[in-house]
Amino acid sequence: MKMRHGVTPLAVSLILLLIGVAGCSAPKDVAYFQDVTAETVVPVSAAQGISIKPGDKLSIVVKAKDAALTELFNLGVTATRIGTPSTPSGGVAKTFTTGNDGMSSYTVTPQGTIDFPVLGKLTVSGMTRSELAGFIKGELMGRDLVKDPVVTVEFMNIGVSVLGEVTNPGRYDVNLDNITLLDALSLAGDLTIQGQRNNVKVIRRQSDGIHTYVVDLTDMGKTVASPAYSLQQGDIIYVEPNGVKKRTTTVNGNTALSASFWVSVASLLTSVAVLIFK
């Protein structure tokens, strides 16, 4: 049976097959670091450590042989306990401090400072963890406050966000002195096969505004040379879907691999066949 205008069912089937093949063609640029061979040496600049910024929360602990002396320089956490023996009614709150085992945090002010016990206001913005620890140690010894202090500085609230075509998108806490773009993508389970390797965006808030960097993971030289290779706290990484994923994603979010998509296609083709053959 011929269809209207001389178009046969076989021709329609071939057209649909060609459309499907074109939509499901293999994406290019799937492999990372295509510029690298066994003999390639890619120069890498010194890793940029994560520096302290306004809004960061810092845990600073001072230890020494004289534990009573170091109490002056460590913030205790004030908590609330309900129903202590000293409250006959059992409903009056009593505050207490946990001591050095539980430490409160310092929040860096918009001016980049913290108010440290005894030492007073310290400008800490722009320092790394180790630099701040060394600075406080030097101040304590230089003012003859503590002879042999051990100062530990930890970030308490920093992280990076990984969005888009990765296996496990989300926000990841950072507990390292430096973290690279590759480290963050590894934490997120790597890019999916539909993620664009040559168009990974890193969005970073800086003092003059929001900067966006585009990183090409198919080229190692360009990747490690990018200002976004070494991440900073608060960075947002977005992996854009490739053309295949975009073409096979419908308006309602279904893909060509989902059952609901194929049910919709079958329903549409059935309706078209009924109109043509009736």
Across 44-53, 174-183, 198-207, least confident range: 44-53
Answer for the pair 121, 24: CB distance below 8 angstroms, yes or no. Answer: no
CA distances from 66 to 62, 150, 177, 217 (A): 11, 12, 29, 52
Across 38-52, 75-89, 120-134, least confident range: 75-89
Query: Which part of the chain is CATH 3.10.560.10?
Result: 159-245
For the chain, percent of residues with pLDDT exceeding 90: 50
Q: What topology does CATH give the domain 57-155? A: wza like fold (3.30.1950)
Residue that the structure tokens 């206001």 belong to: 121
Amino acid at 7: V
Confidence band (pLDDT; 50, 70, 90) for 92?
very low
Minimal CA–CA distance to 184: which of 233, 225, 150? 233
Name all contacts of 20-28 with Cβ < 8 Å and 24+ positions apart.
23/244, 23/247, 23/248, 23/256, 24/244, 24/248, 24/256, 25/244, 27/193, 27/194, 27/242, 27/243, 27/244
Can you count the helices (H) and strands (E) in the chain? 7, 12
d(CA 11, CA 135): 78
- The CATH H-level (homologous superfamily) assignment of domain 159-245 is Outer membrane lipoprotein wza domain like (3.10.560.10)
Minimal CA–CA distance to 149: which of 63, 270, 35? 63
In this predicted structure, the answer to whether residue 152 has a pLDDT above a threshold of 90 is: yes
Tokens of 5: 């205008």
Across 71-85, 216-230, 239-253, least confident range: 71-85
| Average pLDDT for 224-243 | 93
d(CA 170, CA 163): 6
Helix residue ranges per DSSP H, 144-209: 181-187
Residues paired with 163 in a beta bridge: 238
Confidence band (pLDDT; 50, 70, 90) for 61?
very high
Residue that the structure tokens 């492999």 belong to: 31
- At 100 the pLDDT is 42
Model-level pTM?
Answer: 0.69
**pLDDT tens readout for residues 155-175:** 998 999 999 999 999 999 988
d(CA 194, CA 196): 7
Query: Which part of the chain is CATH 3.30.1950.10?
Result: 57-155
CB atoms under 10 Å from CB of 34, counted, come to 15
| Average pLDDT for 40-69 | 86
**What is the per-residue burial (b if ≥16 Cβ within 10 Å, else e) of 54-68?**
eebebebbbebeeee
H or E element, residue 254 = none
